Amino acid sequence: MTQTSDNVTWLTQEAYNQLRAELEHLSGPARTEIAQKIEQAREEGDLKENAGYHAAREEQGKMELRIRQLTQLLERAQVGEAPADNGVVGPGMTVTVAFDGDLDDTMSFLLGSREAASGDIEVYSPQSPLGRAIVGQKVGADVTYELPNGRKANVKITEAKPYTG
Segment 100-105 mean pLDDT = 75
Give me the DSSP letters along 18-61. HHHHHHHHIIIIIHHHHHHHHHHHHHTS-STT-HHHHHHHHHHH
Predicted confidence (pLDDT) at residue 140 exceeds the cutoff of 90: yes
Domain enclosing residue 34, as ranges = 2-79
68: domain CATH number is 1.10.287.180
| CATH code, domain carrying 97 | 3.10.50.30
Tally of CA atoms within 13 A in the half-sphere of 152 that contains its CB: 5
Higher-confidence position of 140 and 12: 140
With a cut of 70, say whether residue 31 has pLDDT above it.
Answer: yes
**So what's the pLDDT on residue 46?**
77
Q: Which residue has the higher pLDDT, 46 or 140?
A: 140
Q: How confident is the model at residue 7 (pLDDT cuts 50, 70, 90)?
A: low
The residues near 17 (Cβ < 8 Å, ≥ 6 apart) are none
Kindly report which listed range (2-11, 137-146, 150-159) carries the lowest average pLDDT score: 2-11
Is residue 84 in a domain? no
Residue-wise pLDDT tens digits, 16-30: 888 899 999 999 999
Count of CB atoms situated within 10 Å of the CB of 77: 20
Residues 142, 101 contacting (CB under 8 angstroms):
yes
Residues recorded for the chain: 165
